[in-house]
């Protein structure tokens, strides 16, 4: 396990992921870039020490790592060893139950909320080694994005919208509701209004993030989840005639659905980016307190050892 994670982190697969589970590559990149723009100098240094050295601290380049480890096309030899992490990308509530109950929806902490808690502890926990810290950071960057995609906090019965299928914008191929929210709506926005230039789209989301001001509930993962669930229950399932979509009928969605929902997506990306930045800054600061405590302890320990050696030496000489 350890050696496989080592290999995966060092020989990190940066290839574009096809069947991503979560915001698509664009959404995850945006969240990670926004977070990076918020980092304090300490946090930047710390992040730089954890991402693979050749990326020079670029958080965006590791944002889809947690997806890429899962699939044979991006991780041909090692993907079976990471399947345990698949369930950490989301959580589900029972159909049309609009509040999250950890004891029901996150058994044994195996869900995105448990993962956010787990990895924000592990990433600065001195009991874990460098490889574990690297892994924790890369999971954290990804899951903080996923949890802001409302359908990552969707209903069990339709697998977070995956089994609600249909057609979007007169496209001939079939898609599903989950995928529309991961990437379908974003990609229309990007090509329509930004000439498919991600940098220029990033600038838009960045200014949106600044307009939002500092988001409240910075480390309240349960609140982030409740916000996603609220969008799921209020709006996401309404088709263009305000009927509730379900798995037994193919949907046909276009501009009306797009116009109604693209704003929510952009708000969620901006919130996710800001909150991830704030979280990493706090963790970087806590880490310094922890290590300075350790420094003190270590220097006390050194003094003690020096003293013992002196006593021993004196005893031997006398
Ligand atoms: C960071 O990585 C992303 C994704 O690989 C890339 O598009 C971007 O140009 C990189 N940024 C810098 C500053 O190198
Ligand atoms: C916490 O992280 C470790 C290391 O990746 C993993 O083995 C464990 O399953 C995680 N637990 C939860 C509840 O996410
Ligand atoms: C889809 O096709 C219909 C009928 O041809 C047309 O009215 C509509 O504008 C098209 N929608 C888009 C988004 O291209
Ligand atoms: C993309 O947008 C950025 C920022 O607006 C701009 O500097 C850059 O030249 C654009 N790239 C292309 C290929 O047009
Ligand atoms: C699914 O949606 C269709 C169209 O709105 C509706 O006629 C049908 O009754 C719904 N089925 C269920 C099981 O809710
Ligand atoms: C939905 O579309 C698919 C592919 O076109 C088709 O096979 C299926 O029968 C349709 N389902 C319904 C319920 O209309
Ligand atoms: Zn994901």
Lowest-pLDDT range of 95-99, 232-236, 252-256, 303-307: 303-307
User: 282 with 288: CB under 8 angstroms?
Assistant: no
The C-alpha atoms of residue 260 and residue 74 are separated, in whole angstroms, by 34
The better pLDDT of the pair 295, 46 is held by 46
Measured by CA distance, the residue closest to atom 5 of ligand 3 is 170
The C-alpha atoms of residue 142 and residue 163 are separated, in whole angstroms, by 23
The C-alpha atoms of residue 95 and residue 81 are separated, in whole angstroms, by 31
Q: What is the pLDDT of residue 127?
A: 95
Q: What is the pLDDT of residue 52?
A: 92
3-state secondary structure of 171: coil
User: 33 with 205: CB under 8 angstroms?
Assistant: no
Residue 316: is its pLDDT beyond 60? no
- Report the mean per-residue pLDDT for the chain: 88
Residue 6: is its pLDDT beyond 50? no
- Measured in Å, residue 123 CA sits from the centre of ligand 2 at 12
User: 239 with 163: CB under 8 angstroms?
Assistant: no
Lowest-pLDDT range of 69-73, 96-100, 282-286, 312-316: 312-316
Model's pTM, two decimal places?
A: 0.88
Measured by CA distance, the residue closest to atom 2 of ligand 2 is 118
3-state secondary structure of 154: strand
User: 115 with 137: CB under 8 angstroms?
Assistant: no
Q: What is the pLDDT of residue 298?
A: 47
163-222 residue pLDDT tens = 999 999 999 999 999 999 999 999 999 999 999 999 999 999 999 999 987 767 778 999
Q: What is the pLDDT of residue 23?
A: 79
Q: For ligand 4, what atom is nearest to the CA of residue 197?
A: 1
In 167-318, alpha helices (H): 177-179, 185-194, 198-212, 221-231, 255-317
Measured by CA distance, the residue closest to atom 2 of ligand 1 is 61
How far the first Cα of the chain sits from its last, in Å, is 54
- Write down the domain spans for the chain: 26-212+221-284
Residue 315: is its pLDDT beyond 90? no
User: 176 with 13: CB under 8 angstroms?
Assistant: no
User: 22 with 65: CB under 8 angstroms?
Assistant: no
- Measured in Å, residue 196 CA sits from the centre of ligand 1 at 16
Residue 29: is its pLDDT beyond 70? yes
Cβ–ligand 1 distance for 60 under 6 Å, the answer yes
The C-alpha atoms of residue 126 and residue 297 are separated, in whole angstroms, by 13
Pocket test for ligand 4, best of 190, 200, 206 (most atoms within 8 A of CB): 200
For domain 26-212+221-284, which architecture applies?
Orthogonal Bundle (1.10)
The C-alpha atoms of residue 14 and residue 25 are separated, in whole angstroms, by 11
User: 280 with 39: CB under 8 angstroms?
Assistant: yes
pLDDT over 70 percentage in the chain: 83
Q: What is the pLDDT of residue 219?
A: 85
257-283 residue pLDDT tens = 999 999 999 999 999 999 999 999 999
- In DSSP terms, which residues pair with 253 in a beta bridge? 168
- In DSSP terms, which residues pair with 175 in a beta bridge? 166
Q: What is the pLDDT of residue 20?
A: 41
Length of the chain: 318
133-165 residue pLDDT tens = 999 999 999 999 999 999 999 999 999 999 999
């Amino acid at each position: 396990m350890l050696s496989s994670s080592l290999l995966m982190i060092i020989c990190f697969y940066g290839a574009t992921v096809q069947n991503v589970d979560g915001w698509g590559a664009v959404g995850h990149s945006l969240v990670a870039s926004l977070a990076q723009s918020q980092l304090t100098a300490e946090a930047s240094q710390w992040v730089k020490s954890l991402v693979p050295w050749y990326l020079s601290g670029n958080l965006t380049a590791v944002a889809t790592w947690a997806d890429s480890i899962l699939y044979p096309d991006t991780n041909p030899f090692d993907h079976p060893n990471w399947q345990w992490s698949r369930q950490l990308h989301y959580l589900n509530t029972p159909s049309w139950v609009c509040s999250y109950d950890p004891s029901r929806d996150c058994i044994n902490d195996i869900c995105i909320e448990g993962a956010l808690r787990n990895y924000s502890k592990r990433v600065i926990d001195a009991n874990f080694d460098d490889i574990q810290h690297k892994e924790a950071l890369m999971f954290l960057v990804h899951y903080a994005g996923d949890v802001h995609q409302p359908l990552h906090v969707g209903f069990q019965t339709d697998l977070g919208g995956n089994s609600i299928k249909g057609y979007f914008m007169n496209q001939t191929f079939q898609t599903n509701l989950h995928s529309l929210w991961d990437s379908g709506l974003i990609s229309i926005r990007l090509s329509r209004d930004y000439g498919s230039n991600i940098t220029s789209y990033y600038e838009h989301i960045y200014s949106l993030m600044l307009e939002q001001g500092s988001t409240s509930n910075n480390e309240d993962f349960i609140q982030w989840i409740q916000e996603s669930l609220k969008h799921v229950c209020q709006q996401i399932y309404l088709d263009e005639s305000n009927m509730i979509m379900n798995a037994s009928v193919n949907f046909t969605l276009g501009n009306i659905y797009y116009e109604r929902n693209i704003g929510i997506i952009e708000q969620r990306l901006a919130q996710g980016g800001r909150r991830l930045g704030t979280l990493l800054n706090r963790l970087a600061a806590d880490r310094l307190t922890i290590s300075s405590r350790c420094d003190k302890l270590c220097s006390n320990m050194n003094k003690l050892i020096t003293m013992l050696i002196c006593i021993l030496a004196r005893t031997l000489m006398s």
